[in-house]
A and B are shown apart, each in its own frame.
Chain A
Amino acid sequence: MAQKHDTLQNVQVITKKNINVTTSSSPVQLLNTKDAFKRNSLTVADALKHFAGVTVKDYGGIGGLKTVSVRSLGANHTGVLYDGIALGDAQGGQIDVGKFSLDNIEQIELYNSGPVDILSPAKAFSYGSLLVLKTNAYSINTKDEKSGNVQIQYGSFGFFSPAIKYKQQLGKKIVMGFNAMYQQANGAYPFTSYENSNTTKKRKNSAIKAFRFEYDASIQINDSNKINFKTYYYNSKRGLPGAIILFNDISNERLNDRNFFIQSSWQKKAGIKGELLLSAKYTADKNYYVDPTYPNSFGRLENEFYSKEFYLSASYGYKVNKIFKLSFSSDAFNNRLNRTDIFAADFANPTRNSFLNNAAFQFKKQRFEITGNVLHTLINEKVTNGKPGRNLSAFSEAIAASFQPIKNIPLRARAFYKHVFRAPTFNDLYYTNVGNTNLKPEFADQLNAGLTYGKQNLGFMRSITFTTDAYLNKVNDKIIALPTQNLFQWSVQNIGKVNIKGIDVSLHTKTKEWKNVRLSADVTYSFQEVLDVTDNTSSVYKTQLPYTPKHSGSSSFSIEHKRATLNYNIIFSSYRYKQGDALFVNLLQPWNTNDVSFSYSFGKTFSTNYKIILEANNIFNTQYEMIKYYPLPGFNYRISLNISFIKQKQSYEY
């Protein structure tokens, strides 16, 4: 029964393109929401901890910042596409992936090189690695008229989160829907006191309240002519607990965020061989930071930033023949950042115009594929105060190939090379007293070679997927903030140089159903040697970059029996140093966390269905930290109740 249902769902969803992780010429990892729940994940950040080659920096708690660095290129080299269009990152360049809860996300995809589909906006080719988040808003189900979902989550540390999703079909061609989520937590989780390891303290100033609303509409005239529209609103108010300071529990800083965007894209056949993808987006973000005990004459410090982005993109794809495809994409961005608080003084209030042009090709046969692209980026900058950042004109390029040597053995070899850069962010250039308008872009080179093996229906195994990749990356002109002369005067400079060697391994297995039981196991392992080669006279020359574990990985094990699922998850990391010097005082201990979850669903699959999920996270109450003095939660639990309903049309169409 369960298997039948799965198969049906795959048939019903007409817009979903399946991505094959073993035939892709550059590494791809993906996780759908169903599997993300099996991995005890609340947010995208939690789910990404199960991806190979990914270092999530988690500052703790539901409201704590969570950034993603892929293969040690640094968080600024990870771009995020949300329903097909890039999230703006001109201000800080690092996207907090802890902000995206999984209630409305259908699939998480991570591309180590560029997008698999060459008919993508030029921006999608501009990142070191690409994180793609897809909601299920646009998928038209040929049978469903109305569908919805209500979820209530309750958990440790005052966590409470209701969420609702609703989707309605208007005729055969239009679907519209909305989803909303509210989340609150006091975040006061206990941790072992740093002053006295026999006592426990509670994290302070760690509460969060967040609200998200999305409205989506899609007109799908046919499979090759569709228009998607999306409105996104997010608002959060949170305490910034900061690092634990010995003998000082005071923490007062707060951050309010507001993100808003509307985006639309239109994908259409243009002639027999052509295809067109047009996108537009407007983003208006606000963030407000306050330190109410700052020792200036006002007794407080405020930072209020408004950032806006206008974005237009046009892509044209041309199928020369069945195996050869070309595409050309052109993107234009206008980004503005204004500081409006009374402490803004002579903030630069920069405006940046960016133009990205990308040409790509794809040659794809059953056993051989080669994909490549060249991207040109042009950036012009203006400011209202001071000196603007450098104008920039630069090329980046990538090439990827995969090959299946023996016809009937699903073993493939693949390789890619990618040269990209990230432009200095507004913070890098204009941050008060720290910013440096002379900055150049930071370059990243990636070279990757790997093997994949994917087989369906092998004996009692339903599927086996194995991928392993070895890579050599180099980061040049790395943008880092350094103190100059004294610790009051920091400056952002292009001086870092990093050499990276790594190996990613992942194995995903599922068994066939046997007496109503199905098993699955997933293992990932990453090795990373990340050496600071900035200055050969420094004591940290050729030492492992801070906060980068040499070994890390995850494993998940799941048993399904009829409508019940039991999951066990482990994430581990070897030791790291918080500074380059390999001294015990700089050491962060290795850690592993063990999570268990159980879910049971009841009710009718095709009308109203109930699902209860019980999650016990960090069951051995491991006290650990990813960033020194940012303790992470020990044992915690979540209980979720999920009610979904589907109202189907009278006449079935299969």
Chain B
Amino acid sequence: MNIKQTSFAMLSAVLFLSACKKVKDTTPVLPPEFTLPEGAYVLSEGSFNANNTKLSFYAKGSSTTTGDVFLQQNPDSTAGLGGLGNDAIIYGSKMYIILNQSGLVTVLKASNAKFIKQISFKNGITNKQPRYAVAARGKVYVTSYDNTVSVIDTSSLAIIKTIVVGANPEGIAASANFLYVANSGGFNTIPDSTVSLIDLNIELEVRKIKVGVNPYKVEINAAGNVFVSAYGNYTTIPASVSVINGALNTTSINLGSNFSYSNVRIAGETAYLYNNYGGTGTAKVYNTTTNTVTRNEFITDGTVIQTPYGLNIDSQNGDVYIADAKNFTSAGTVTCFGSNGVKKFSFSVSPGVNPNTILFKR
């Protein structure tokens, strides 16, 4: 070998190393559909800093799920929905997706998940951090961690008013005349423990009602009573469920230590309580008319849900859909049970991680 040959050998080693090919996506992407069949949308919030909020679609009776129906229906939006989709609601012909980390409410067509608009939830150098939404009287009300409820006009899709509430509001529910907003105060050293009562006629907070420490979700039963689940302080104060009499709207009663749940979902007179703090089991079934526990464990056939992270009830047949966040990092699943707690079917929402909301598409 002479110097020339050596240099050549060295140079080829250099060039060999520089050969790196891009990896192609082999996931088949289906063409967009004009309308989607009857089924269910599932929102997966994704992980912190991962920008991986996904909207999946399950067509009723099918064996497969469209893991990323937003991308399928909006093939140009390759970036995706954004970061931390905490909530989604369908109201009228539109779907509103609340994206906490991206500071957005993204509006889609409810019939086919086609993109309509992004509503910015930023205020100068601050992300308001939107969290949960409810619709009432032709408007959509969105809580944000900056101690506000924003009012979205559903035709102009713009924020038309901001209502000041308590610290770091989370869940929100609407009765005929009032909004109930859970003030968590979760960013303070000592959490809040109130619900803001907003009069829908004047769109202002009229009162704060004392509930459990660090309230999270708010649901209203058929009789108009308001159930508020609270996280507690994660250490010494356990999770709790409080009930506000919807006719009086003054005080609440705490359901006691057997109701250490941070999450609640109500259909008619039946409340499903889940996220049993420090305990076991998937969900407790509670009759809100008779104030009795229907079943301490909803699931009756031994089906295991690792981390119940979202729950919804199909009003057509009473079926209960439970979203499982698994270990919070791998793809989530949704399992459908009959109201008797027997599993009917389940589907994966891959690539969705941390599924939290199930919405029925008729």
Partner of A250, one of B13, B48, B103, B118: B103
**Known: A486-B262, A509-B10, A572-B20. Is A581-B330 also a contact (CB below 8 A)?**
yes
Contact pick for A592, options B20, B45, B147, CB 8 Å: B20
- A485-B275, A489-B234, A589-B23 known; A539-B331 Cβ under 8 A: yes
Which residues of chain A (559-593) have a CB below 8 Å from chain B?
568, 570, 572-575, 578-581, 583-587, 589-592
List the A side residues contacting B129 at CB < 8 Å.
Answer: 295
Q: Measured between C-beta atoms, what is the minimum distance from B136 to chain A in Å? A: 25
3 nearest A-B pairs in the assembled complex, by CB-CB distance: A521-B10, A243-B49, A296-B187
The 8 Å CB contact of B79, one of A246, A461, A540, A573, is A246
Residues of B within 8 A of A483 (CB): 328
> B6 touching A579 by the CB < 8 A rule?
no
Shortest Cβ distance from B351 into A: residue: A585
Interface size class of B (residues with CB under 8 A): 35 or more
Residues of B participating in the A interface, judged by any CB pair closer than 8 Å: 1-3, 6-7, 10-11, 13-14, 17-18, 20-23, 25-27, 45, 47-52, 68, 78-83, 99, 101-104, 118, 122, 125-127, 129, 145-147, 167-168, 185-189, 231, 234-235, 262, 275, 277, 307, 309, 326-331, 350-351, 353-354
Our pick among B101, B189, B327 for the contact of A345 (Cβ within 8 Å) is B189
Q: Does A606 contact B (CB under 8 A)?
A: no
Given contacts A485-B307, A511-B3, contact A570 B50 (CB under 8 A): no
Q: Are B147 and A295 in contact (CB under 8 A)?
A: yes
Residues of B within 8 A of A580 (CB): 329-330
Given contacts A195-B79, A247-B118, A579-B330, contact A570 B18 (CB under 8 A): yes
A296 to B353, CA, bound (A): 28
Find out whether the CB atom of A590 lies under 8 angstroms from the CB atom of B20. Answer: yes
For residue A294, CB closer than 8 A to chain B, the reply is yes
Please tell me which one of the listed residues B49, B167, B307 contacts residue A297 in the complex, with CB atoms under 8 A apart. B167
When distances are taken between beta carbons in the complex, the residues of chain B under 8 Å from A594 are 18
| B53 nearest in chain A by CB position | A246
Task: Select one of A250, A579, A586 contacting B126, CB under 8 A.
Answer: A250
Number of A-B contacts (CB under 8 A): 170
User: Which has the most chain A C-beta neighbours within 10 Å: B104, B309, B330, B354?
Assistant: B330
Query: In the complex, are the beta carbons of B102 and A247 less than 8 A apart?
Result: yes
**Please, how many angstroms separate the alpha-carbon atoms of A197 and B353 in the complex?**
25
B327 touches A538 (CB 8 A): yes
In whole angstroms, what is the CA distance A538 to B306 when docked? 11
Q: Which residue of A lies closest to B11 (CB)?
A: A557
Are B23 and A590 in touch, CB under 8 angstroms?
yes
Q: Is the CB of B6 within 8 A of A511?
A: yes
B187 touches A294 (CB 8 A): yes
A548 smallest CB distance to B (angstroms):
15
Contacts A243-B49, A245-B83 aside, 6 further interface pairs with beta carbons under 8 A come to A248-B102, A248-B122, A460-B3, A540-B329, A578-B50, A581-B350
Find residues 239-267 in chain A having any chain B CB closer than 8 Å to their own CB.
242-248, 250, 252
B103 → chain A closest CB, angstroms: 5
- Chain B, interface SS category: loop
Most chain B Cβ neighbours within 10 Å, of A488, A509, A592: A488
Residue of B nearest to A342 (CB): B189
Are A245 and B49 CB-contacts (below 8 A) given A196-B79, A538-B330?
yes
A250–B122 CB distance below 8 A = yes
Instruction: Tell whether A602 is near chain B: CB-to-CB under 8 Å.
Output: no
A343-B101 in contact given A574-B20, A581-B331 (Cβ < 8 Å): no
Partner of B234, one of A296, A433, A535, A568: A433
Could you tell me which residues of chain A, from 218 to 253, have a CB within 8 Å of some CB in chain B?
242-248, 250, 252
Q: Which of A262-311 contact B (CB under 8 A)?
A: 293-297, 301
Nearest-Cβ distance from residue A114 to partner chain B, whole angstroms: 31
Contact A590 B49 (CB under 8 A): no
Nearest CB on A from B86, distance (A): 10
Shortest C-beta distance, A194 to chain B (Å), equals: 5
Write the nearest CB–CB distance from B83 to chain A, whole angstroms. Answer: 5
Closest beta carbon of chain B to A590's beta carbon, Å: 4
A247 and B125 form a contact (CB under 8 A): no
User: Once the chains bind, are B17 and A248 in contact (CB under 8 Å)?
Assistant: no
Measured CB to CB, the closest approach of chain A to B348, in angstroms, equals 10
B107: min CB distance to chain A, Å: 13
Cα(A390)–Cα(B156), bound, Å: 60
Q: Which residues of A contact B354 (CB under 8 A)?
A: 487
Q: When chains A and B are docked, how far (Å) is the Cα of A554 from the Cα of B20?
A: 13
Name the distance in Å between A439's Cβ and chain B's nearest Cβ: 17
Does residue A500 face the partner (Cβ distance < 8 Å to B)? no
Q: Which residue of A lies closest to B82 (CB)?
A: A246
Complex: chain A residue closest to B14, CB-CB: A555
Residues of B within 8 A of A583 (CB): 27, 331, 350-351
Chain A residues in 8 Å Cβ range of B330: 538-540, 579-581
User: Given A538-B330, A572-B20, do A248 and B168 touch, yes or no (CB 8 Å)?
Assistant: no
